[in-house]
Amino acid sequence: MKKRILAILITAALAVSVTGCAGNAASSSDSTSASSVAESSDTSTQTSADASSTEESSDNGAEESKDNNSQEESKDLEANYTKYTLDGDLTQHMIDMSRLNEGNKVRLANVIKKLKNGEEVTVGFIGGSITQGTSAGNELCYAKLTADWLQQTYSSAKVNYVNAGIGATGSYIGVHRVTTDLLSKNPDLVFVEFSVNDTTEFTERNKDSYDSLLRTIWKSSTNPAIITVATTQEDGTSFQEQHAEIVKHYDLPMISYRNTILDTIGHGDIVWKDISDDNIHPNVPGHKIVSQLLQAYISDVDKDVDNISGNESDFSTPATNASFENGSLLTLAQAGDAVTMNGEFKTNEANFGGFDGYWFFKGSNKTDLSSTDLTFKVNAKEIGILYGKYTKAGCSADVYIDDELAITLNADFTGGWGNYVECAQIKSFDAAGEHTVKIVPKTTDGPSVFSVCQYSSQYRESRFFATL
């Protein structure tokens, strides 16, 4: 779902060790000093300075103990290591490496029981271009492979498949479209993948939107199980670490293709070009690995399904502000009186960047911009915009909120891989209220274009989101 040159946008680097070995090499030699420090901390005649020093040393000892534990876990994983070949099955080591968080399995167990009973189950996927199937195609992407495997494994059941992946979109866009694009299909199981589309350029916004997305899915009427998927760029760049904070807060499953594939490459079994045709998107063999990791996890839960019971994951407390929970899209056809076009703004019902219908401005250096604008009347707390980025003639536009300039958006993507939809969070308010959002194209020296695909809002929840 992301652009061909997503590397420009994906800058998150994880602190997780690829091999689990190098970072812990010195831990064992440090344990002795940690032990002696612990003994000294029991003396009753320390000065306050000594006590402070001891406290610090104790903390260091705890860290060293944690390192020792990690080292032992790493040794255990290495002990199970066997060489992997692309034409073979996943090794147990690869599966173990992928289990970033096993998570609460209660909802997933309920889905598996439905499958075993021959019932109808809807399986949904949401993410960026990887989920959409870039470099693999609709039939060989990990999402379709996983749905097909479920149908083959539980042949008496009926498995409905929904792929809501859209290229070049992150969780900020995802949370505003998930209700329309996925939850409206009543899924029983949802896979969430956005780790190469969410970036550290907007860390807090992306954590907030990812949290909001998980909460929106979890609370939907069909009570779906959630499995999160972490992918990677060639250099290891991924938002996996930030997503994992939220996933672990709710104790959801997280399967890391990132950890598995980088570890396998690190052992010299494969090279990146074996599983990807660019620096981001898995190719057919790569998508197969992603699906096999998901299959392995579900199979392991199945083996113990009759023993899984108790409380589900606890979503009572958000991991972040969850500012965008329950955001939704309002299409061009539904906009009605909420939108006013003046001057050179027009509408187009065609698809742009995965969104059906948009408002657009097309002008030149002779265009009179004094009477050209696109205006939204909204009752909102959060205001954001999706706008088109163009490889040719993309111009800038000023965005005013209540007659005050809020931001200037630049639609120029000259030299880029292609036209796509970009997003921007414009303004947040303490409470919902009536607001006017006006978009005004800026003067250009030649042919120019600026587009707004659709706008999305959740009036009841006092949220507004515009897609350009």
**Taking CA 241 as the corner, what is the angle to CA 130 and CA 166, rounded to the nearest 5 degrees?**
20
Enumerate the CATH 3.40.50.1110 domain ranges in the chain, comma separated. 92-307
In this structure, what token pair is assigned to residue 89?
Answer: 């099955």
Enumerate the CATH 2.60.120.260 domain ranges in the chain, comma separated. 332-467
How many beta carbons lie within 10 A of that of residue 250, not counting itself? 23
CA–CA distance, 25 with 38 (Å, rounded to integer): 22
Query: What are the pLDDT digits (tens) for 183-195?
Result: 999 999 999 999 9
Q: Quick one: DSSP state of residue 407?
A: E
Query: What are the pLDDT digits (tens) for 73-110?
Result: 555 667 668 999 999 999 999 999 999 999 999 999 99
Report the pLDDT value the prediction gives residue 39, as an integer from 0 to 100: 31
Burial grade of 124 (CB within 10 A; 0-12, 13-18, 19 or more)? buried
- List, in sequence order, every beta strand (DSSP E) within 250-293: 254-256
Report the pLDDT value the prediction gives residue 19, as an integer from 0 to 100: 23
In this structure, what token pair is assigned to residue 229?
Answer: 């998927």
**Taking CA 142 as the corner, what is the angle to CA 136 and CA 146, rounded to the nearest 5 degrees?**
140
Q: Count the alpha carbons within 13 Å of 408 in the hemisphere toward its beta carbon.
A: 7
Nearest to 31 by CA among 3, 77, 69, 1: 69
Report the pLDDT value the prediction gives residue 366, as an integer from 0 to 100: 77
Asked: is 92-307 a CATH 3.30.565.10 domain? The reply is no
Asked: is 332-467 a CATH 2.60.120.260 domain? The reply is yes
Residue at 157: amino acid letter? A
Identify the segments of the chain with pLDDT beneath 50: 1-59, 62, 66, 454-468
